[in-house]
Structure 1
Amino acid sequence: MVAVTAPVRVLFVGGLGRSGSTLLELILAQHPDVCAVGEVVHLWERALGGDERCGCGERFTVCGFWQQVGEHAFGGWHAVDRDEVLALKAEVDRTRHIPQLARGDLPAEQLAAVRRYADLYTRIYRAATEITGAEVVVDSSKHASTAFALRWAPDLDLRVVHLVRDSRAVAYSWAKQVRRPEVVDGEAYMPTFSPFTVSSLWTAQNAAFHLLAQRAPVVRLRYEDFTADPRGTVARVRRFAGLTDTPDALRVLDEPPVPLVRAHSIAGNPLRFSAGPLKVRPDNAWRENLPTRSRAVVSAATLPLRLRYGYLGGGRTNSTEAS
């Protein structure tokens, strides 16, 4: 008899960056039933290519967790042809491919390419669960196109958290220069984007997750609701991920704070290198510091979805509203 292997349960955190995904991921990672791996979409370039630091503080090639993952998934990272993966990624994982990936079926050749690409992630996720004993892997890659590709993987139980933040707050954050501490050999900074560019990206990414909700389990979470009720929000996200309610999963939010478990995360906000404690609180600096002209551009360009998400008139939506 051939052993039947259960699908790997993956909680994919999607949306535009600077919306709180790293904070949510770190909180979820504090319980052993969750294994947080960061933004796997960047592993091929930043970890395999740049040997950047893992969230634990070690370089990728020195991190014991990631070396075990490589052995379990591929027989060692040396067996992965990075150039071939990047070529496959360019063929499959791009925003412009979303309309095709959203279809009910794909031509055989395209389906084969998408599944080859998704299988790389499936192997990594499965290895992570086997090594840690976790029930769920959290991937905060955020890119909608990556989530669309993963939905075609036959061995994944994919569940998506569509994380949304007020577009004006996101624009303010993307205008700031932020150093990337994971880069060891030299100094590098996260990219900065103009208000118009952020508005376009914010609209495109969020709209894409509404489309994905027609094909996969997706819930929407507002950053503002998360910071207002972190305990309730994390509990609801855990239930959506199929995890049992347990007070231990929320201990990181208690006072006094408990020691922080460092996640083995690839890429993401510098917060992932924090030794703790984690403090979940609203960040409204944009209200005073976002220039008037920038605010006007972003407000106008993102009006339809801001209205839908309750960002006009101070309205609130449920934390786990269907997208």
Structure 2
Amino acid sequence: MTLRVIFLGGLGRSGTTLLERLLGELPGVTPLGEVVHLWERGVLAGEPCGCGRAFPECPFWREVGERAFGGWTRALAGRVLTLRRRVDRTRRLGRAHADLPEYVEVYRTLYQAAADVAGAGSVVDSSKHASLAYCLLAGGVDPHVVQVVREPRAVAHSWAKTVERPEDGRPMTRWAPGRTAVHWTAQNLALEALARRGAKVTRVRYEDLIAAPGETLGALAGELGLPPSGLPFLDGATAHLTSAHTASGNPMRFGVGPIELSRDDGWRLGLPRRQQSLVAALTWPLRAHYGYGSAA
């Protein structure tokens, strides 16, 4: 059976980790987290897997590393990071590079090993970066890209907040609203262009996922060609999550047990009016195209 690679794309703080966790509860689907950061944060820094163990001590990732590469090494991580700097860049979208086949083969090998260890037919990579999606497609991996979009003013508000990383207590990266708006537009335009080139791209709005999780997830599973199944882990607006071996991602990747799916509209009061207007102006008309038409 051909391995199905599901790639979650979009800008961070748009709900990709939540969607990955929900997809990971479907039979035969294994979430891997943000694989693009596995090399630095997992292999080199030894940060925790979503299961709570340090990456080097996680039985799942240890076996994946052995199957794929004969074990995780600093030399391997360093080589992948070097290749990434050369080929996996937004400014290089669509350009051929001699190192691309080697870079993509690392991901192909890792995806297959993870699926074999988990006994799964599908893996989810929530790396988000459009540039990596382009690399995978150019290298013949052919992922099904799920473009996750969220109201850009909500995304800007999230990026502006101070949030501690559970891995080490350090604050997560913060961006000014204007910078977030530019990146939101750039990532989504790149994914739109990918769809126009004939790639398999399915769009999901964060707001729809929260408002109707069962309906939205069920429809997405059909689009992805996943085997039909019920959604016993969903009880109305409550998702019952089990542990997942995610290598990197939003802090909610550590969540286990019942989690309430509630929409966060804190940006309406938390993001200053002037900054709301700035983000609205910088993201128009793409924002309206996704159904976020009101400037209010």
Question: TM (normalized to structure 1)?
Answer: 0.87
**Secondary structure at 1:124 match in 2:** helix
Please list, as runs of the form range in 1=range in 2, the aligned pairs for 1:29-108 lying within 5 A after superposition: 29-78=24-73, 80-100=75-95, 106=96
What CA distance in whole angstroms lies between the structure 2 residues aligned with 1:76 and 1:142?
26
AA aligned opposite 2:276: R
| Structure 2: gaps of 5 or more residues | none
Within the alignment, does 1:125 sit opposite 2:106 as a pair? no
Q: Is the 8 A contact 1:144 1:205 kept in 2?
A: yes
**Secondary structure at 2:56 match in 1:** coil
What CA distance in whole angstroms lies between the structure 1 residues aligned with 2:94 and 2:241?
41
Select which of 203, 225, 231 maps to 1:242: 225
Displaced runs of 4 or more, over 3 A: 255-259
**Secondary structure at 1:130 match in 2:** helix
Select which of 158, 180, 194 maps to 2:176: 194
Select which of 109, 134, 147 maps to 1:162: 147
Select which of 134, 138, 148 maps to 2:134: 148
Change in Cα spacing, 1:222 to 1:255, as seen in structure 2 (3 Å) is: closer
Structure-2 residue corresponding to 1:220: 203
Percent sequence identity is 47
Select which of 8, 15, 19 maps to 1:20: 15
Structure-1 residue corresponding to 2:4: 9
Change in Cα spacing, 1:258 to 1:175, as seen in structure 2 (3 Å) is: closer
AA aligned opposite 2:213: P
| Structure 1: gaps of 5 or more residues | 1-5, 101-105, 315-323
Change in Cα spacing, 1:256 to 1:222, as seen in structure 2 (3 Å) is: closer
What CA distance in whole angstroms lies between the structure 2 residues aligned with 1:164 and 1:312?
14
Q: RMSD across aligned C-alpha pairs, in angstroms?
A: 1.7
Q: Is the 8 A contact 2:8 2:124 kept in 1?
A: yes
What CA distance in whole angstroms lies between the structure 1 residues aligned with 2:103 and 2:165?
27
Question: Alpha-carbon deviations, 1:18-43, whole Å to 9, x = none?
Answer: 01111111111113310000000001
Structure-1 residue corresponding to 2:266: 285
Change in Cα spacing, 1:196 to 1:65, as seen in structure 2 (3 Å) is: same
Q: Is the 8 A contact 2:237 2:260 kept in 1?
A: no
**Secondary structure at 2:99 match in 1:** helix
Question: TM (normalized to structure 2)?
Answer: 0.95
Within the alignment, does 1:206 sit opposite 2:188 as a pair? yes
Q: Is the 8 A contact 1:74 1:80 kept in 2?
A: no
Question: Alpha-carbon deviations, 1:116-166, whole Å to 9, x = none?
Answer: 111111111101111111111000000000110011233x34100000001
What CA distance in whole angstroms lies between the structure 2 residues aligned with 1:222 and 1:259?
21
